[in-house]
Structure 1
Amino acid sequence: MSWLIDPLTTAFVLRALGGGALVAVICGIVGTWVVIRGMAFLGEAIGHGMLPGVALATVLGLPALAGAAVSAVAMSAAIGALQRRGRLSYDTSIGLLFVGMLSLGVIVVSHSRSFATDATVMLFGDILAVDEGDLAVMAGALVVTLVVAAVFHRAFVASAFDRRIAHTLGLRPRRAQLALVGLVTLAVVASYQAVGSLLVVGLLLAPAVAARPWTARIPAIMALASAFGVLAVLLGLLLSWNAGTAAGASVAGTAILLAALSATTSAALTRIRSAGASHAPAERMAPAARAGAPR
């Protein structure tokens, strides 16, 4: 049992587990809406849109998380502005800004010759470097996520099915959309330390995808997605400790494996139930057929 006990008695692993669990709950809540609303491309774009801010903050000697937050907020605001004022579709606006921000980040990184290690952290995170200050920031992000998700829950639900109904009910779907984009931005920024900008979409989507086959109620999906996310963090950290793999990539990869396992298990159980239901009528008819048979 040393493979389990040894890492969980180490201070930096416990901090990583705590930070990862906080991020997993944030991503479980926000990722549920991302999956329901089909906003995966937005999450990926914001994740890569953080690169210029992180790169500039590192060059200037500022906190990388602050640069990530500023860049992600600017990305979200630019997407909203292009959608409102331009003639471009939502996906086209996101795609153009995605490529533009990613290119800008690569330019900044390539211009600096002291970026080898920092670029790896930017892309894949460094969950094992989580400290008490990071935990406080993640806990604050979780509180904000819970409050916003609770306040806008009815508006999110109505907008997910029919924006016209949401408008008729006075739920202001445009404001709800802005709030949801803000939540996605917050989740991506909060996840940056754990899995970096490249793998953040995996942690945002995979737990929610894993949870969807098991329940249709949105709060239940959020809770189950959070549980899947925490399990992915735990298993990913154990894999990283015992196999010597990158911690952030191990967490993201484990989350995707859990999603695949959940989908496979759900499909197998559905087939078993269908087979049982198809055999049941035949079994009920057999005694009647035997009773009516000539003797």
Structure 2
Amino acid sequence: MLSPVDFIADLLNPDLAFLPKALAVAMMSSLVCGIVGSYVVLRGMAFIGDAVAHAVFPGLAVAFVVQGSLVVGGAIAGVLTAILVAVFAQNRRLKEDSVIGVFFVAAFALGIVIISRAPGYAGSLQQFLFGSITGIPDEDVLVVAATGLVLLTVAFLLHKEFVLVTLDREMARAAGIAVFVVDLVLYVMVAVAIVISIQTIGNILVLALLITPAAAARLLTDRLAVMMLLAPVIGASSALIGLYLSWSLDLPAGGMIVLVATGVFLLSWLLAPRHGIVVRATGRYRRSGDPDPALAAT
């Protein structure tokens, strides 16, 4: 197995320029997904993330056929689907998950039809589904960086609104917050975060980058601010370790990144200081009716 020193040497090797580029995209995607994923986990929106991951597929397929940017094509398709879901979900006769189910299946089917018309589509389909982190064009690296910065800025500016709508939608309406607009912005952010991550770990696995680090962070802390710091750290660390293992053992990069993140989640589930199974089994945890020690101290 390749030593960490040799891995660093390979990252600095000019003949392996694709490797640091792959690491940069993986780290940027993980940081953005960690922040956006925190809102997704708090709101129980994992199914929406899965839907958007499928919905971007026709945009990727069109971009491939016309030899355009996969990031731009996927973003357009994902944003359009997110808007449709947000609009149709306002009709309370249909639950949100039903609307999502209709649109993400239709979008994925459309993507399959489009890409089947392209020459050599079997290979490109595998690339979309499982990622191609070592073949990312230079221009897409810049697009990912710029898009990630925009998403993080929006999350910072609308953090209070996202949290209030997550905790109590009726109170948010009473406070004068446009709940539909906040929902729409969050759906679009999920779509864009998924698009910039698809080339890293693929369409099938991308939901793990959005959900798993945030879910692990949720087990480790009760404070939202700490969770939103931990989730990107867990995601970026998983990307680094996963890419190292992938390069060392000649295994798929996307799969290794997801497995490392899943390992962190399982460790958090077992050993989290207040919510871990081991701590709860030994009785050294605060019961739900007991006062929070931090609040009691203040």
Q: Does residue 251 of the first structure (1) align with residue 257 of the second (2)? A: yes
For 2:230, the equivalent position in structure 1 comes to: 224
Aligned mate of 2:217, from 202, 211, 235: 211
- Further displaced range: 8-17 or 251-260: 8-17
For 2:14, the equivalent position in structure 1 comes to: none
Q: Secondary structure at the match of 1:9?
A: helix
Aligned mate of 1:138, from 127, 136, 144: 144
Cα offsets for 1:163-182 (capped at 9, x unmatched): 11111222222221111112
Q: Return the offset for 1:85.
A: 5.3
Cα distance in 1 for residues equivalent to 2:8 and 2:138: 17
Aligned mate of 2:198, from 189, 192, 206: 192
Q: Return the offset for 1:2.
A: 4.1
- Further displaced range: 6-15 or 66-75: 6-15
RMSD of aligned C-alpha atoms? 2.0
Cα distance in 2 for residues equivalent to 1:190 and 1:203: 11
Q: Return the offset for 1:113.
A: 4.1
**Percent identity over the alignment?**
34
Cα distance in 2 for residues equivalent to 1:216 and 1:86: 32
Tell me which structure has the larger Cα radius of gyration. Answer: 1
For 2:87, the equivalent position in structure 1 comes to: 81
Letter in 2 for 1:55: A
For 2:294, the equivalent position in structure 1 comes to: none
Letter in 2 for 1:5: V
Aligned mate of 2:177, from 171, 176, 179: 171
Cα distance in 1 for residues equivalent to 2:191 and 2:258: 18
Q: Return the offset for 1:205.
A: 0.3
**Matched-pair contact (CA < 8 Å) for 1:194–1:248:** yes
Q: Does residue 108 of the first structure (1) align with residue 117 of the second (2)? A: no
Letter in 1 for 2:7: P
Q: Which has the higher helix share?
A: 1
**Matched-pair contact (CA < 8 Å) for 1:7–1:13:** no
Number of aligned residue pairs:
277
Cα distance in 2 for residues equivalent to 1:28 and 1:175: 22
Q: Return the offset for 1:50.
A: 1.2
For 1:6, the equivalent position in structure 2 comes to: 6
TM-score by length of 1: 0.87
Cα distance in 2 for residues equivalent to 1:154 and 1:103: 37
Q: Secondary structure at the match of 2:283?
A: helix
Q: Return the offset for 1:13.
A: 2.0
For 2:25, the equivalent position in structure 1 comes to: 19
Letter in 2 for 1:157: V
- Further displaced range: 26-35 or 125-134: 125-134
Q: Secondary structure at the match of 1:170?
A: coil
Cα offsets for 1:176-205 (capped at 9, x unmatched): 111111211111111122112111100000
Cα distance in 1 for residues equivalent to 2:204 and 2:163: 29
Cα distance in 1 for residues equivalent to 2:137 and 2:267: 32
For 1:129, the equivalent position in structure 2 comes to: 135
Cα distance in 2 for residues equivalent to 1:67 and 1:141: 14
Q: Does residue 49 of the first structure (1) align with residue 58 of the second (2)? A: no
**Matched-pair contact (CA < 8 Å) for 1:32–1:225:** yes
Cα distance in 1 for residues equivalent to 2:57 and 2:179: 30
TM-score by length of 2: 0.86
- Further displaced range: 7-16 or 218-227: 7-16
